[in-house]
Amino acid sequence: MSLTGRSELSNSQQPKLQPFSAFSIRYFPSVWLGGLIWHLCRWGVAFLGTYLINDMTGSPRLVQLAGTVLYAPLLLGGVLGGVISDRFDRLRTVQVQMLVIGPLSVLIGLLVRAERIEVWMLYLYMFVMGIGWVTDMTSRRALVFDLVGPARLDNAMAMESLSLSGGMVLGALVGGSAVELVGVGSAYFFIAGFTVLALLILLPVKSPPVVSRPSPASARSDFTDGLRMLRTNQGVVSVLGVTVIANFFLFAYFPLVPVVAEGLGAAPFHVGLLLAGTGIGMMIGSLAVARWAPYRRGHVYLLGLAAALVMVVPFATVSTYYLALAAIIASGIGSGFFGATQSTLVVTASPVASRGRALGLLSMAIGALPVGMYFLGEVAERWGASTALVANAVAGAIALSVWVLRRPEVRRMTTDDISPL
C-alpha cells in the first residue's frame, strides 16, 4: 500500500492558479488578515518579553527561558489542541483565545508602567500566549483547508506562511518602535488593541460546513488516535522529524537576537528591525512558493531548511549591523520555503477527519523549540551567543542530513500526493 493516495488530477493536469487565488474564496481574506494581526501580536509579545527580560536581568539564560516558556504549550498541548480542532467549531475556538489575550496584555502593560512587573509574571503571560498559538495553529489552519479545499491548498498555506512572516516583521517593528516612542509598558497596550482588531475582523466570518467530522468517540480516544499516527503514517513522521530539527537547531535563536544586537550597539528600533529580518526573508520565500507552486514540495521543504541553517553562521559572526541584517534576511528566505510547505505536507499526508490531530502533532514537533531554546541558552551563558549559534547551526545541518538518509519519505512528496478521504 502506498503511503499516500493520489489526487484526481496530476500536477500536469491541474490548472495553474494565480499566486493570490485563495483570496477569491469567501471569508479567506478575513481569516488571513485576522491571522496576520494575530501573528503580529504573538511576535510583538515575543519581542517585548525578551527585550524587557534582557533589560531587567542581562542574562542570556533567562532571555532564552522566556522563549522556552512561550513555546512550551506546543510541546505539551499539541495533540490536545488537535483534538479540540477536530471536535469543536474551529472559528469560535480561535475567537475565544483572542478574548483571553487582550485583557491580559492590558494588565501586563499596567504592571510594567507601575514598575510592579516581575520576571515570573512575564513568563506566565508568555505561557498563556503560547497556549493561544497552539489553538491558532491547530484550529485556524484546519479552518483554512475547510474554506479553500485541496485545489487551492498550496496557495492558501503559502499565504498562511506569509501571514506568519508578515506578523513577525510587523510585530518586531511595532514593538521596537513603540518602546522608543511610548515605552515598553505602553507597548503592551498596542498588543491588546491589535488583538481586539483581529477579533473584530473575524466576527463576520461563518464556519464552513465540514463533510467529514469525527464520530462521537471520546476525546481520550481521539487523543490516542492522534498519537497512533506516529506509528502508522510514515509520511507524516518524516515531515515531523524535519520539523523537530528545524525548531531545535534553527528557530531557537530568536530570543538571542536582542543579545546579538546589543553586541552590535543597536538601538531598540534596530533591534526590532534585526528580528524583523527573519520575517522579511520569510515573506520573500513564501511569496516565491505561492507564485511558483513547486511540484516537488518535499525538496523545497528540505532545501529551504538547509539554506536557513547555513546563513545563521554569518549572522552570528559578522561585526557589522547591516551585514548581520543581510544574513538574517537570507536565512529567513530559506525559512520561508520551509514554512510555506510545512503545513501543506502534513495536511495532504493525513486523512480528512484527522487533519486537526495531524496539525496537533505538527505543533508538538514545533514544541522542540522550547527545548532547543533552553539548551541554546545554557550554551550561550557559558560560551557566548556567537559560539552557541554557530555550533547549533552546524549540528542542525548534520542532524538534517542523517534524518533524511534514514527517513527519506519527505523527499518524494509532490503536489500529486494527497491522503484519501
**No. of helices (H) and no. of strands (E), the chain:** 16, 0
Inside any domain, residue 214 = no
Confidence of residue 210 (pLDDT cuts 50, 70, 90): low
Total number of domains constituting the chain: 1
**Which cell numbers hold the place of 403?**
534524518
Neighbours of 32 (CB within 10 A): 23
Inside any domain, residue 112 = yes
- In terms of phi and psi (left: phi > 0; alpha: psi -120 to 50; beta: otherwise), the region of 374 is alpha
CA–CA distance, 95 with 90 (Å, rounded to integer): 9
Contact 64, 377 (CB under 8 A): yes
Inside any domain, residue 1 = no
Stronger pLDDT, 299 or 417, i.e. the higher one: 299
| 405 burial level (CB within 10 Å; 0-12, 13-18, 19+) | exposed
Q: pLDDT tens digit string along 129-178?
A: 988 888 887 788 778 878 887 777 767 877 887 888 888 888 888 888 88
Lowest mean pLDDT among 5-19, 327-341, 378-392: 5-19
Contact 358, 72 (CB under 8 A): no
Alpha helices in 119-152 (DSSP H): 119-135, 141-148
pLDDT at position 367, please? 74
Which among 333, 329, 323, 335 has a CA at the least distance from the CA of 396?
A: 335
- In terms of phi and psi (left: phi > 0; alpha: psi -120 to 50; beta: otherwise), the region of 384 is left
Contacts 24+ apart (CB under 8 A), 11-18: 11/295, 11/414, 11/415, 11/416, 14/151, 14/415, 16/293, 17/151, 17/152, 17/155, 17/293
Confidence of residue 206 (pLDDT cuts 50, 70, 90): confident
Inside any domain, residue 10 = no
**What is the domain-level CATH number for residue 280?**
1.20.1250.20
**Cell 549559534 belongs to residue:** 389
**Which cell numbers hold the place of 61?**
539564560
pLDDT at position 302, please? 93
Inside any domain, residue 16 = no
pLDDT at 403 over 90: yes
Inside any domain, residue 136 = yes
- Which residue range is the domain that position 298 belongs to? 24-207+223-412
